[in-house]
Structure 1
Amino acid sequence: MIELIGAPVVLHNGSLLDPAEAQGRNIDIAAARRETLAYRILAAHNRHADTTQLRLRFDALASHDITYVGIIQTARAGGLTSFPMPYVLTNCHNSLCAVGGTINEDDHLFGLSAAQKYGGIFVPPHLAVIHQYVREMMTKCGGMILGSDSHTRYGALGVMGIGEGGPELVKQLLNKTYDLALPAVVGVWLEGAPGPCVGPQDVALALVGAVFKNAFVKNKVLEFMGPGIAGLSAEYRCGIDVMTTETACLSSIWPTDETIRDWLALHGRVRDFTPLTQTQPACYDGMIRINLGRIEPMIALPFHPSNVWTVAEVNRAPRDILQHVEEEAKKQFGVDGPRPRLADKIRNGRLWADQGIIAGCAGGSFENLTLAAAILDGKSTGNGAFSLSLYPASAPQALALVRGTSAAGLMAAGAVIKNAFCGPCFGAGDTPANGALSIRHATRNFPNREGSRPAGGQIAAVALMDARSIAATAANGGCLTSAAELDWDELAQHADLTYHFDPLIYARRIYNGFNAAQPEKPLIFGPNIADWPTMPALPDHLLLRLASVITDPVTTTDELIPSGETSSLRSNPIKLAEFTLSRKDPGYVGRARAIQQLENIRQTTPDDPELLARVRAVCALCGMEKFFVPDNSLTRTGLGSAIFAVRPGDGSAREQAASSQKVLGGWANLATEYATKRYRSNLINWGMLPFIVAPEWTDRLRAGDYLLIPDIRSAVEQKKSDIAACLVRQNNDGTKARTTQISLMLNDLTEDDRRIILSGCLINFYNRHGS
């Protein structure tokens, strides 16, 4: 079904060659590396003479209402006067203005006023989810778009999309660049044709299952190719493409053909079409071969999109397979913690779900919902616990469903059709009942992402499936059913996939002020919109306390800062910070606050006798008192917190996973590796040190340990990569404290990365050096 080739592969005359075969045909491998679509697009957007160290300028930017307030506030602090490129502000995450009083709609008014003042594009709530609007209205073949959402993926339309934290968009707004080393490019060869029961989510989950855990494509670009592409519709391609985020790749790109030309023409944008083809020979750093004809309907069980099985496998042995989920739940929530009892949902040998959701940038397409309507035609979702909710990805798509027969058929079957909204994807809508199992055509199924709160004894579980199998399950009242069990010859007669795009609702409601900034317009601030607190520059020395130690194999950004109801506070960094790690380590905030209070004393009274005594007691244990307490003062020594996690940062691009730690006095993360570039970039942009430590430290670190890092400022200035530090553990049982040397690695920092860290954060950097 899927073959991974972890060595260079050359595409030549439609065939895949290994380097030896390529050299035998006198192919220049170095030149062939410059012929990939990815390289050509990256090179066209590079503003640096060195093609191995890229400095990229994007064609457009995109943010939603969880992120744009902080981005604009940060850019204002750096001297923003107008948006230098098209920048769309959508309102698809905090659309429900029913949480936290007025604050969601206050953010929306701020967004509209910012679009007017700086010349932006404003999409009001419920008109479109962020990525569907960009697909429909902003993609231009051969372009690049940067979004403050991890699922910024438009490769199927010939556009390289990258999802990053807000500070990277700030840099673009201030006419700076996105800097990275030239990424590796991995080909994705598609051959064969998927069966009618197989949807884009099935293909995507099979891909994620094959490459996530082994980090096969981490921080690389996926470039799709092969004869299998031609038989896929534009929406089908987009459905696969948006899920490439879950592979941990950096971006994606596909060739463009008449199918994409017709899709852009349908949206009134044929002028934005350019044929993109692989110029052969082209050399790739690896290859993934997928036989679409061998893909089956898939299901990703809790608690990650890579926990992939076929639906048929689960139906054959549900109890055995669900035992793996129970074991993972014990690791996540503890032996005595809440966990879903999925085995209790097995009745007569079949697994039963409590809820179905088809939504958002991955699931809410016209084709998916039309096929769901055909499957449910004349049937019922039942009057039991199972419910089915559907969210078209945009108002034009919803309008097309209403003008056809699909909306009426879905409603007659008992499904509920709602407006464009991302909420079900991250826990701000349709939160299941305690102990429930929800099956979703959405992007993620991380622990508690659906909105449950384990600290309150609540737990739910989400499994990812394609809309086709979700509809088949709904037709059986919630009994897990593969779309392969349906009669697709009959269904084909009921599903009219002809789509007519009507832009009228966009023309009537969307504010497009690009190139028409009105600087005299005031920004409208609600009471919850707060400025960032003052953040100090990196001191000469750091004395840090580990406020949390997480030994899970992967830590998601949802665990670092919860999604769901906390999203309403993301315009208020101080209030939001109180929720940091609240679902993973509820004691973190208290421990971080305790050391932050000492830092506050240090900043106002660096010779405070009691504080000096406490610091001396720790430093004396490893003979570093002369560094940290010279001249009876702590003016050169900063106090703060750090966290350790094995592989932090999988999932969302949200910068608040890092900034909330900084607001609480955080100075560093320790990790054996970082799950994504975007999380590491967020740490750097908030002035935090992204340390790497050897894997053996995973079982040796404890919350409460002290980390003494002498001369850290000069180490950063001098571009040192290996930094010696001392780890101190003060035992509560009265036994002698232990000290250990630890090596902290700072790998691959650019010159700007170092300057940002030295300044204390990106805001300070721009305030001190100008935009």
Structure 2
Amino acid sequence: MKLYDTGVYLNNGQEIIPAAKAQLPVSQEEAARNTIAYSILSAHNTSGNMDKLQIKFDKLTSHDITFVGIIQTARASGLDRFPVPYVLTNCHNSLCAVGGTINEDDHMFGLTCAKKYGGVYVPPHQAVIHQFAREMLAECGKMILGSDSHTRYGALGTMAMGEGGPELVKQLLSQTYDINMPGVVAIYLKGTPRPGVGPQDVALAIIGKVFGNGYVKNKVMEFVGPGVASLSADFRIGVDVMTTETTCLSSIWQTDEKIQEFYEIHGRAEGYKELKPGNVAYYDGCVEIDLSEIKPMIAMPFHPSNTYTIDELNANLDDILADVEKKAQISLDGKVPFTLRNKVIDGKLYVDQGIIAGCAGGGFENICAAADILRGTSIGADAFTLSVYPASTPIYMELAKNGVLADLLETGAVVKTAFCGPCFGAGDTPANNAFSIRHTTRNFPNREGSKIQNGQISSVALMDARSIAATAANKGFLTSAENFTGEYRGQKYFFDKNIYANRVFDSKGVADPSVEIQFGPNIKDWPKMPALAENLVLKVVSEIHDPVTTTDELIPSGETSSYRSNPLGLAEFTLSRKDPAYVGRAKEVQKAEHAIENGECPLDVLPELKSVMETVHKEYPEVGKGNLGVGSTIFAVKPGDGSAREQAASCQKVLGGWANIANEYATKRYRSNLINWGMLPFLIPAGDLPFANGDYLFFPGVRKAVEEKADSITGYTVKEDKMVPFTVTLGELTDDEREIILKGCLINYNRK
């Protein structure tokens, strides 16, 4: 795999020419307009300026831990109907067993909203969000926005993006998605994958190469080159969905007769059209990949970029496992002992669990290939277990018809319904100290469901379904699928449209205002949020120095997902795995803001603020009643990797958070979530911090600085009767984003 250190030209879809060596009859500017990404973005841009995009999407999609908050936010802003097709799937809180009625209450909320506002409702266990979108929503040349970070349908010619809920709210209110024109990086494929190598292997190889250096961060990955033709539609989909883990903005692939066949199989032939770059296309970078050189891969805990070949791991077990332990101490803050070296038996690594599931692993070809490897074997009667989750009921149906389901069950594997739980810790949580291998999307700490705050730790490595099956056939000892010498049968897929026709509610875009929305006791409105004050006093209530902080660490997944319809209830879990004292500290400071809102003196409820204000008044005597906001902030080196969940930001705001301070934001979507919840996305240079956890910070004239588009803002650390100055920046903000921050949140911005 080769990363080019300059831009490149792609000539006739085949030849890569580094920009410095190019002698072509078109300018760079003209060639840049010949990418597939440019053509799609241009067709959806409403600004008239391709440098400053204002995008309107064709379709929206959400699942059942995001759609309640999104619709509640839009309702508060005057929503009367869905202006574009909006699909509400139920694949995350499908297990209506924890928390009483609250999960099914959310589902009924979704169904009644689909009726009232003119949407589509997919009942639990029918399909995971992204498989339904592939089967029923994707169209070549279109754009889809989803409130899940793995919203990626580029292999089917659809440019899709995963964002926090407020960006979907904007689309529901006929507003736009505003971004600068992103860079476009060519992912140039050549060669053909060797037997035993699946899409997860290719994806992990890419992630391991580009995540750490930010090569494609916030850019569009455009898959081109002769190697694309060697990949089936399912294979391309399996690579595409994992592009999220590179921190790219979106993805798009050239299309061909294999994608045309996909649309025909699903009864939507009209959704296909050929997409390919122009004769000469310019890209801002290029990742050149020889598919024939990729071997079965494994991403060790605790990140998809922690990659090795399986052969490399097996040959260097002790060294690599020792390195994993060192990285684990950073990820786990040393709170629990962690080792995998006790899993080595007679020189081989023993695995406790295998899972093939969800939008990445639950595809038809993945499961059929796994069954080919397992056929005639068994997973054994020891600790090792294997669970398989087909990504949709139509896939499940075809596996039943072609005999694969029976083949799997005979081995001792368990085949379950379409559900995203294994990806975020709501199902199949391993035992303490157990090691799970999964064809799912992420392996962050505790994302498998264990709780380090309770002294528990299990861990996940990511692998392709084929090598998981080879490991299962070897009774749990880690095995590469290249060791399988049998035949892959390559069964053909047949799609049964009647399954969805019989169960999915589709309003056909017709709203029925007479429908009453069905609420449950856990579904709460967003609390009132104040506008940005003239001056801010903020207490630092958490300080995180991990190289990257995931959204799972900011607001945990798993058991907390049932509370995402309850802003105050969910907020109690904020940073619970990373900094359990955060909530108490934030709520203590929030008392002062509540006092200000009620016309009371904040010093009466937060006595420690008295000495802070005395110091402030020495230089700023005018700061006080009517022009002061008091709240909290956190520092993290690089927060926001992973999920699109808006609650990573909104929970901080609900608890009185006014800002994040970071050296860098891991993803655009997390920074957008901060802005949409009225939080200042401060940036501070890397190095020694001018403050520490527990310090008070003072930002005079912060509202004016936002209004006047100041390049930098001066803050002060207030302690020991002194104010020590430091500087933060906000980065680029659109006029609308500034107004959202000034008004306190997107709800206030849109409130009628």
TM-score by length of 2: 0.98
Aligned-partner Cα distance in 2 for 1:318–1:709: 51
Q: Mean alpha-carbon deviation: is it higher for 234-243 or for 617-626? A: 617-626
Superposed, 1:166-185 pairs within 5 Å as 166-185=165-184
**8 A contact 2:300–2:306 mirrored in 1:** yes
1:508 equivalent in alignment to 2:502 = yes
**8 A contact 1:85–1:514 mirrored in 2:** no
1:652 equivalent in alignment to 2:643 = yes
Residue number in structure 2 paired with 1:373: 371
Q: Indicate the SS of the match to 2:687.
A: helix
Aligned-partner Cα distance in 1 for 2:249–2:59: 17
Residue identity matched to 1:532: W
Q: Indicate the SS of the match to 2:716.
A: strand
CA deviations over 1:548-593 (Å, ceiling 9, x no partner): 0000000000000000000000000000000000000000001101
Aligned-partner Cα distance in 1 for 2:621–2:245: 45
Superposed, 1:304-703 pairs within 5 Å as 304-335=303-334, 337-487=335-485, 490-492=486-488, 495-607=489-601, 610=604, 614-621=608-615, 626=620, 629-630=623-624, 634-698=625-689, 700-703=690-693
**CA positional deviation for 1:623:** 5.6
**CA positional deviation for 1:621:** 3.3
Provide closer, same or farther for how the CA distance between residues 602 and 500 of structure 1 changes in structure 2, counting only shifts above 3 A: same
CA deviations over 1:38-71 (Å, ceiling 9, x no partner): 0110010000021100000000000000000000
Aligned-partner Cα distance in 1 for 2:345–2:415: 29
1:106 equivalent in alignment to 2:105 = yes
Aligned-partner Cα distance in 2 for 1:334–1:655: 25
**CA positional deviation for 1:20:** 3.4
Aligned-partner Cα distance in 1 for 2:603–2:481: 71
Aligned-partner Cα distance in 2 for 1:525–1:339: 44
Residue identity matched to 1:765: Y
CA deviations over 1:375-431 (Å, ceiling 9, x no partner): 110101011000000000000000000001110010000000000000000000101
TM-score by length of 1: 0.96
Aligned-partner Cα distance in 1 for 2:278–2:255: 13
**8 A contact 1:297–1:482 mirrored in 2:** yes
Q: Indicate the SS of the match to 2:139.
A: coil
Unaligned stretches of 5+ in structure 1? 730-735
Residue identity matched to 1:754: R
**CA positional deviation for 1:26:** 3.1
Residue identity matched to 1:762: L
**CA positional deviation for 1:340:** 3.0
**CA positional deviation for 1:628:** 6.1
CA deviations over 1:724-765 (Å, ceiling 9, x no partner): 010124xxxxxx466421101011100000000001000000
Aligned-partner Cα distance in 2 for 1:583–1:758: 31
Q: Indicate the SS of the match to 1:299.
A: strand
CA deviations over 1:96-131 (Å, ceiling 9, x no partner): 000100000000000000000000000000000000
CA deviations over 1:241-294 (Å, ceiling 9, x no partner): 000000000000001110000010000000111111111211000000001000
1:741 equivalent in alignment to 2:719 = no
**8 A contact 2:451–2:577 mirrored in 1:** yes
Provide closer, same or farther for how the CA distance between residues 420 and 546 of structure 1 changes in structure 2, counting only shifts above 3 A: same
Q: Mean alpha-carbon deviation: is it higher for 599-608 or for 412-421? A: 599-608
Provide closer, same or farther for how the CA distance between residues 303 and 26 of structure 1 changes in structure 2, counting only shifts above 3 A: same
Superposed, 1:51-450 pairs within 5 Å as 51-335=50-334, 337-450=335-448
Residue identity matched to 1:594: E
Residue identity matched to 1:389: S
1:750 equivalent in alignment to 2:750 = no
Residue identity matched to 1:660: C
1:726 equivalent in alignment to 2:725 = no
Provide closer, same or farther for how the CA distance between residues 502 and 759 of structure 1 changes in structure 2, counting only shifts above 3 A: same
Aligned-partner Cα distance in 2 for 1:424–1:608: 45
Q: Mean alpha-carbon deviation: is it higher for 620-629 or for 393-402? A: 620-629
Aligned-partner Cα distance in 1 for 2:53–2:618: 41
Q: Indicate the SS of the match to 1:707.
A: strand
Q: Mean alpha-carbon deviation: is it higher for 316-325 or for 293-302? A: 316-325
**CA positional deviation for 1:334:** 3.4
Residue identity matched to 2:70: I
**CA positional deviation for 1:721:** 2.2
Aligned length: 751
**CA positional deviation for 1:616:** 4.5
Unaligned stretches of 5+ in structure 2? none
Aligned-partner Cα distance in 1 for 2:232–2:712: 50
Residue identity matched to 2:135: E
CA deviations over 1:428-483 (Å, ceiling 9, x no partner): 01011010000000000000001000010000110000000000000011100001
Aligned-partner Cα distance in 1 for 2:630–2:331: 31
Q: Indicate the SS of the match to 1:446.
A: coil
Residue identity matched to 1:717: E
Aligned-partner Cα distance in 2 for 1:663–1:351: 45
CA deviations over 1:288-320 (Å, ceiling 9, x no partner): 000100000000000000000000011111111
- 673, 697, 700: which one pairs with 1:707? 697
Structure 1 vs Structure 2 CA RMSD: 1.3
**8 A contact 1:619–1:625 mirrored in 2:** no
Aligned-partner Cα distance in 1 for 2:182–2:602: 50
Residue identity matched to 1:549: E
Aligned-pair identity in percent equals: 58
CA deviations over 1:694-716 (Å, ceiling 9, x no partner): 10145x54211111001111111
Q: Mean alpha-carbon deviation: is it higher for 496-505 or for 519-528? A: 496-505
Residue identity matched to 1:689: L
**8 A contact 2:589–2:606 mirrored in 1:** no
Q: Indicate the SS of the match to 1:228.
A: helix
Aligned-partner Cα distance in 1 for 2:11–2:483: 40
Provide closer, same or farther for how the CA distance between residues 411 and 719 of structure 1 changes in structure 2, counting only shifts above 3 A: same
Residue number in structure 2 paired with 1:733: none
Aligned-partner Cα distance in 1 for 2:680–2:480: 47
Residue identity matched to 1:708: F
Q: Indicate the SS of the match to 2:2.
A: strand
**CA positional deviation for 1:627:** 5.1
Aligned-partner Cα distance in 2 for 1:701–1:465: 42
CA deviations over 1:188-225 (Å, ceiling 9, x no partner): 00000001110000000000000001111100000000
**8 A contact 2:535–2:623 mirrored in 1:** no
Q: Indicate the SS of the match to 1:696.
A: coil
**8 A contact 1:612–1:629 mirrored in 2:** no
Residue identity matched to 2:468: I
Aligned-partner Cα distance in 2 for 1:280–1:628: 64
Aligned-partner Cα distance in 1 for 2:493–2:521: 43
Aligned-partner Cα distance in 2 for 1:474–1:738: 63
Q: Indicate the SS of the match to 2:462.
A: strand
Residue identity matched to 1:653: A
Aligned-partner Cα distance in 2 for 1:259–1:105: 39
Aligned-partner Cα distance in 2 for 1:88–1:515: 11
Aligned-partner Cα distance in 1 for 2:537–2:371: 60
Q: Indicate the SS of the match to 2:320.
A: helix
Residue number in structure 2 paired with 1:732: none
Provide closer, same or farther for how the CA distance between residues 654 and 624 of structure 1 changes in structure 2, counting only shifts above 3 A: farther
